[in-house]
Amino acid sequence: MGLLYDLSTKYKTLSIVGMAKNAGKTTALNFLIEEAMDEGIVLGITSTGRDGETQDLVTGTEKPRVYLDQGTLVSVPSQLYNLADAGLEILRRTPYSTAIGELLICRVQDAGYVQIAGPVINSETKKLCKDMFDLGCDLIMIDGAIDRKTIASPETSDAIILATGAVLSRSMKKVVEETAHVVHLYGLPEFGEDDRVKAFIEQDNYEHIIAFNTDGEGKVLDLVTGLGNARYIDDAIEEDTKYIFIPGAFTNSVVADISNKHLKQVEFILKDPTKIFVNIMDWGQLRKRGFKVKVLKNIEIAAITVNPWAPQGYTFDSDFLIESLKKLLPDMPIIDVRK
């Protein structure tokens, strides 16, 4: 039994997320599609943008095409329907919007290449997945075509497959450290100490910075972002302040002017780890200052795929790259799909 069979026993929806362009995301998708053919798993395939075209529409570089087997369900906008090499039967016309026409759910009748696309709104992706399950698929693969890492939102899928590789850096050590950093961030502990705090945040619709005291009482600040507002957050921290909820992006500027005393006193709460944009070195410095953080929902990483080739022309030893990653992530399935 292959990797996909193991994953299909644990998850119903999986997003494939690239650490960067050319990290091997589409190659990993094609590998898993081939495994589904071998295992007899009926896949549903959708995307958070557009994928499967022969050339990257942004960089102009060649891309792997997406080949789908007979019986696979796939979401295809009407403007891409006639571009498919595969024979497609339209099962359902959906109300979900795309920039390139009405979104269709199709079944592959004759195997071939397909350009796939899907909704860009998380709530519509969830509805589309339900539609596909209703039409008979066993497992849905969501291709994270638009937003790379941030499409990993836990609202979208049960878990993610993270594609990493040499494209991140000419230094293998840096590739390994950056990948492990993302895995660490996505696995941050979930906040569960006080249901009143979570309910208050949800009632505010995750829109404002909120300070909570030791009794779980919330005070909504007149701030909708933490970016550049560290001084105002610091002023809002009182002796009994215990938690600070930060909506949106979390960067160094959110805490840059918060005193060490206050940084050690409070625990920050974020919606999910995709909001964090802090590199590994700065993250370590924050931790040394006493910084504490939890998320309302973390992200499960089901597996990591590696691409030891970079479009800039250099390569890593695949076995050594995997071995180096396993030293930092010993319990994580890590594979080079081309091997």
Can you give the residue ranges of every domain in the chain?
3-187+300-335, 195-295
Going by C-beta distance under 8 Å and a sequence separation of 6 or more, which residues neighbour residue 154? Answer: 272, 297, 298, 299, 300
pLDDT at 339: 81
Characterise 136 by phi-psi region: left (phi > 0), alpha (psi -120 to 50), beta (else): left
C-alpha span between 25 and 40 (Å, rounded): 22
Please give the average pLDDT of every successive group of 10 residues along the chain, which has 339 residues: 84 93 90 91 87 48 78 95 95 89 95 91 90 96 67 79 95 97 95 93 95 96 94 96 96 94 97 93 94 95 96 95 97 91
The pLDDT of residue 2: 77
Task: Show Cβ contacts of residue 205 under 8 Å, excluding neighbours closer than 6 positions.
Answer: none
pLDDT at 62: 53
The pTM score is 0.89
Tell me what pLDDT residue 63 has: 59
- CATH fold of 3-187+300-335: Rossmann fold (3.40.50)
3-state secondary structure of 159: strand
d(CA 303, CA 284) in angstroms, rounded, equals 25
Q: What is the pLDDT of residue 271?
A: 94
- Any idea how long the chain is? 339
Model pLDDT, residue 49: 67
Give the pLDDT of residue 98.
83
Q: Are strands 139-143 and 43-47 parallel, antiparallel or unpaired?
A: parallel
Place of tokens 């190659």: 27
Q: In whole angstroms, what is the distance from residue 212 CA to residue 200 CA?
A: 10
pLDDT given at position 123: 86
CA dihedral 132, 134, 138, 142 (to 10 degrees): 20
CA distance 178 to 41: 33
